Amino acid sequence: MKAYERLLNYTKFAAASDSASETCPSTPEQLDFARALVQEMLDLGIEDANMDENGYVFGTIPANSENWTGPVIGFIAHMDVVRDVSFQNIKPRIVENYDGKDIVLNAEEEVILSPDEYPSLVEYIGKDLIVTDGTTLLGADNRAGIAEILTMAEVLLANPDIKHGTIKIGFTPDEEIGRGANLFDVERFGADFAYTVDGGGFGEVEYETFNAATATLTIKGRNIHPGTAKNKMKNASLIAMELNSLLPAVQRPEHTEGYEGFYHLIHMEGEVEKATLTYIVRDHDREEFQAKKDRLKRAARWINETYGEGTVAYEIVDSYANMAEQIKPHWHLIDTAYEAVREVGGEPHSIPVRGGTDGARLSFMGLPCPNLGTGSHNHHSKLEYACIQAMDDCVQVLVKIAEKYGEGVFGK
């Protein structure tokens, strides 16, 4: 089976994660998908395929390379999709031999996938694309990665002449809500190194992520009848707006790119008596990251000095760190992936991930774990799409990586 055929099959699973849930996985639909993947793995011949009590799926492809002494390599993808965009009743379709023009996904709602807005489409002229009907996401993030990992497994198991070492496979729940690595059992997984297959275009080899934190600021106001409010009322909602104005507007996501970090206001609510601001704070550079958190603290202090001590309380919780510092001591992971991409006919490229992956957390849990492209684009969007031929190329990259770690000894 081709990787794209698996992706089409996986679209029937409405397995979005839910940050409001405290369970793991956060939704029962992820368990349904996990069970289906375990059965698929067993059918492929992955004899130890299993799901643990938290919904994580594991499996092993035994080494078939004689006298193999290399490290154990793993491949990881996540099962959930976001719920911010419609994720149920996905109706994928294939655009054959893409001609480089606008693709009308939904004429009634005027949803158009255009190369003018998304130049990556130009790379796929003459190739076949999987798109949506313009009413839901596709779910290629990260079902394309799952499809490619299991297609790699099928290739290796069906072709014993391809020599490789021991390979571990892992599928995680709840990555989209930042919990994918929370209960990942690194020791049980049993790999020395791994790759998440959770990126964008073919040829991506990513090893830098943001440093990340979530900041919650709670503003306490004082209500009183507006007719007698002079010098007495403290409007928490207005104070919240003033606090937000103390952060640089140029450091918002819509004004940043590359290595530029940001403050992103993701939630706000307020009345006169109480208001709350929630930000995610991001930066690739650890010192700049700390400076951003410090600026939030200074803003809170200034508000307290202006309106009285106790007006603002804040909590800043780190989420994950830039995995580059954990990957660089094991640079063979990047060199090997680069070589594999070139051998498949691509040009490897590394860009700073403007987000995080399970690999960021796992790298700090003792499993160095860079990220690979999947041949898909516009994730978390009704304009999401994947290229069939690029997915095939991504599968071949995984096969090549498996071969290379079966050939010799790499430093652990």
- CATH number assigned to the domain with residue range 3-208+322-404, chosen from the 4 options 3.30.365.10, 3.40.630.10, 3.30.420.40, 3.40.50.720: 3.40.630.10
Percentage of the chain surpassing pLDDT 90? 93
pLDDT, position 410? 58
Q: Is the peptide bond before 142 cis (omega within 30 degrees of 0)?
A: yes
Residues 225 and 392: beta-carbon distance below 8 Å: no
- What are the boundaries of each domain within the chain? 3-208+322-404, 211-320
Tokens of 256: 């940043």
- CATH number assigned to the domain with residue range 211-320, chosen from the 4 options 3.10.20.90, 3.40.50.720, 3.30.70.360, 3.40.109.10: 3.30.70.360
Catalytic one among 80, 148, 206, 283? 80
What average pLDDT does range 279-283 have in this prediction? 97
Catalytic one among 174, 175, 204, 208? 175
Residue 141 a catalytic site member: no
Separation CA 147–CA 395 (nearest Å):
9
Nearest residue to 202 (alpha-carbon basis) of 78, 388, 10, 7 = 388
For 218-276, write each residue's pLDDT tens digit.
999 999 999 999 999 999 999 999 999 999 999 999 999 999 999 999 999 999 999 99
Residue 80 a catalytic site member: yes
What average pLDDT does range 323-346 have in this prediction? 96
* Whether residue 355 has pLDDT greater than 80: no
pLDDT, position 143? 98
Cα dihedral 253/184/40/33 (nearest 10): -60
For 99-126, write each residue's pLDDT tens digit.
999 999 999 999 999 999 999 999 999 9
What average pLDDT does range 348-375 have in this prediction? 92
What average pLDDT does range 205-215 have in this prediction? 94
What average pLDDT does range 141-155 have in this prediction? 98
Tokens of 134: 């313009």
pTM of the model: 0.89
Distances (CA, A) of 411 to 75, 316, 330, 395: 18, 37, 8, 25
Nearest residue to 156 (alpha-carbon basis) of 64, 257, 55 = 64
